[in-house]
Structure 1
Amino acid sequence: MTAKHDLELVEVTKRYGTTVAVDAIQHRFQPSSYTCLLGPSGCGKSSTLRMIAGHESVTEGAILLSGRDISSLPPANRGTAMMFQNYALFPHLSVRDNVAFSLKMKGVDQKERHAKAGEMLELVDLTALSGRLPDQLSGGQQQRVALARALITRPEVLLLDEPLSALDPFLRIRMRSELKKLQKELGISFIHVTHGQDEALALADEIVVMNNAVIEQAGPARDVFNAPRTRFVAQFMGGHNVIALQSGHFAVRTDAVAITAPNMGKLDAQVMAVEYQGTHVSLMSRIAGDQEVTALVPEAQYFTTPHHPGDQIGLNWDAKDQHKLTA
């Protein structure tokens, strides 16, 4: 039995003509959690989000929310709200009226909708700017207006389509913490589409990795990063080497690879490049078969026994850090 506020995708497919954008995906999202749909451009993540929102039709399958099939309902009747990538604020309306707009469309009187907009602006710390127009706001402030406008409908699930992509790197990091804090305070499910691995790891309770219209792997963020099941997930999540030997494919984290003298580790290699990264040094080497293996070595440890391009080295790691890949 589907619990209250559970969102479930049941064999959901989306076709555009002969092109399959989403191919019979099956997933139940954890209630009151922050989930990131992660994957490269064209993998199907945005189409999935838009189908949940009702901005794209479902070709086959069903979308269930709180036990009811919402697949054919209009967006306003689904119990979801969507925050768009470009924020889509009305330039001629004040911050308060932008936030209250959906209530105006529902016929809510001005006093009530302004009161509710005030509550939302207080939630996102924009009360003092309620009378401004969107072009008088910074990018981060515009994002918070869009967030307040989505939340005023009191959705069971908030959908976010790459909401941080338009922000500069410093503000992006700051807004990540604000989004996470807000999700915990509200206690509703956030589903956030991104192609940024760092963003997903920083925000998500659960990561759903998509590739070629299907779900490659889903689970708690730490599990997906530490124990990728496929070659694609290991490479896309970053921080892993994918090594193919006669015994099969496996992944090992770059920070789990230790440098030894030649013939003293699991593999011998030749140093190809060294890159200083502050707290660590990235040492890229080549093993037999022209495969590249990267070791992320703590700065102090590296400079105690430095290595240079052309040097012969050994590579070693603990057996527990080696993860067999299924594909």
Structure 2
Amino acid sequence: MRSDLDLELVKLTKRYGDTVAVDGIDHLFHAGTYACLLGPSGCGKSSTLRMIAGHEGVSAGSVVLGGRDVSQLPPAKRGTAMMFQSYALFPHLSVADNVAFSLRMKGVDAAARKARALEMLDLVDMTAHADRLPAQLSGGQQQRVALARALVTEPQVLLLDEPLSALDPFLRVRMRGELRRLQRELGITFVHVTHGQDEALALADEIVVMNNAVIEQAGPTRAVFDAPATAFVARFLGSHNVIALPDGQFAIRSDALRVTEPGAARLQGRVTGVEYQGTHVALTAATDGDQEVTALLTDQDFFGAPKEPGQAIGLGWDDRAAHLLRA
């Protein structure tokens, strides 16, 4: 069922001269969804986000928010807000003044904008730093301020352009939880651009996988991960093997592969690598037809019957684990 706050992309296109960055994509983001645009560098995901925000002009097609075509409106009139990868905080303004800046531009009086800024800083647990300058903050704190500044205008859609890329791995995981908590608390639509598969899987209700300026596959996160439609999606999401068999090309999750003795198995192979990953062991093998596959085994299973590089093995799987890929 459609909501009056849904975001819809209709034949959305972006050209830079002869280069097509986004090629006539259609997609409906339901209100209140946490969606991730996922894909490699240059696939069109950031151009798509910037067209939604109004920071890039639309070459063709339209951006429709709440049933209203906003394609030609300036960013401040769209009902969207964008959090940039660099955070883009004003170095000479305090944290509170950074957050209140857009309200100041709208002519909101000083008392009202200060109250609203402090409310947003409380939401991101930064009230104690309201009088500091950005240079006095850590990367994670700067990110929280940038979030508060984006949310202060009460947008219908928050747009996030690789917001975690500047953070160290530990903080990145922590801030994923913060973003998810905020989205649930606020109940607004988040559209988040990333090239990190783990980030998208951890955060998103819905994944939109882009490749070569088009949407390759979109849907609920678990559904896309469990049943990738193409070899590109299977490989890009990770944790899948793309295996060519006489009856077609299939995606099989690494944790669904069974390592057996050679002979009666569906695939014959030779171990090329063994990587201990704590709770799991990743075993790579070269199989018939020069295919490389990875089996993810529990440490108990692997060390119960360890394999060495160069050793011949068999590989099997349950029929339900193999998903036929389209060309």
TM-score (norm 1): 0.99
Deviation at 1:265, TM superposition (A): 1.6
Question: How far apart, CA to CA, are the structure 2 residues paired with 1:121 and 1:305?
Answer: 54
Deviation at 1:109, TM superposition (A): 1.1
Identity, in percent, stands at: 69
**Map 1:135-154 → 2, pairs under 5 A:** 135-154=135-154
SS at match of 1:14: strand
Question: How far apart, CA to CA, are the structure 1 residues paired with 2:33 and 2:142?
Answer: 24
Question: How far apart, CA to CA, are the structure 2 residues paired with 1:298 and 1:124?
Answer: 38
Name the residue aligned to 2:189.
Answer: 189
SS at match of 2:82: strand
Question: How far apart, CA to CA, are the structure 1 residues paired with 2:143 and 2:10?
Answer: 32
Question: How far apart, CA to CA, are the structure 2 residues paired with 1:272 and 1:148?
Answer: 49
Deviation at 1:120, TM superposition (A): 0.5
The aligned amino acid for 1:91 is P
Name the residue aligned to 1:240.
Answer: 240
Question: How far apart, CA to CA, are the structure 2 residues paired with 1:275 and 1:186?
Answer: 42
Greater shift, 258-267 or 219-228, is seen at 258-267
SS at match of 1:191: strand
Deviations 1:36-87 (A, max 9, x none): 0000000000000000000001111011000000000000000000000000
Deviation at 1:248, TM superposition (A): 1.3
Question: How far apart, CA to CA, are the structure 2 residues paired with 1:160 and 1:139?
Answer: 16
Name the residue aligned to 2:270.
Answer: 270
1:69 lines up with 2:69 in the alignment: yes
Do the aligned partners of 2:207 and 2:219 also contact (CA within 8 Å) in 1? yes
Greater shift, 103-112 or 175-184, is seen at 103-112
Question: How far apart, CA to CA, are the structure 2 residues paired with 1:96 and 1:276?
Answer: 47
Do the aligned partners of 1:2 and 1:67 also contact (CA within 8 Å) in 2? no
The aligned amino acid for 1:319 is D
Deviation at 1:3, TM superposition (A): 2.1
Question: How far apart, CA to CA, are the structure 1 residues paired with 2:103 and 2:297?
Answer: 55
Question: How far apart, CA to CA, are the structure 2 residues paired with 1:167 and 1:311?
Answer: 41
Name the residue aligned to 2:261.
Answer: 261
The aligned amino acid for 1:279 is T
Name the residue aligned to 1:302.
Answer: 302
Q: Which runs of 4+ in 1 moved over 4 A?
A: none
The aligned amino acid for 1:284 is T
Greater shift, 255-264 or 96-105, is seen at 255-264
Question: How far apart, CA to CA, are the structure 1 residues paired with 2:85 and 2:53?
Answer: 14
Name the residue aligned to 1:161.
Answer: 161
Question: How far apart, CA to CA, are the structure 1 residues paired with 2:272 and 2:131?
Answer: 58
Deviations 1:217-259 (A, max 9, x none): 0011111111000000000000000011222111100000001
Do the aligned partners of 2:82 and 2:158 also contact (CA within 8 Å) in 1? yes
Deviation at 1:176, TM superposition (A): 0.2
Greater shift, 145-154 or 264-273, is seen at 264-273
CA RMSD in angstroms, aligned pairs only: 0.8
Deviations 1:152-188 (A, max 9, x none): 0000000000000000000000000000000000000
Do the aligned partners of 1:257 and 1:315 also contact (CA within 8 Å) in 2? yes
Name the residue aligned to 1:89.
Answer: 89
**Map 1:273-288 → 2, pairs under 5 A:** 273-288=273-288
SS at match of 2:289: coil
Unmatched runs of 5 consecutive residues or more in structure 2 = none
Do the aligned partners of 2:49 and 2:159 also contact (CA within 8 Å) in 1? yes
Q: How many residues align?
A: 327
SS at match of 2:178: helix
**Map 1:83-232 → 2, pairs under 5 A:** 83-232=83-232
Question: How far apart, CA to CA, are the structure 2 residues paired with 1:29 and 1:107?
Answer: 32
Deviation at 1:288, TM superposition (A): 1.2
Deviation at 1:310, TM superposition (A): 1.2
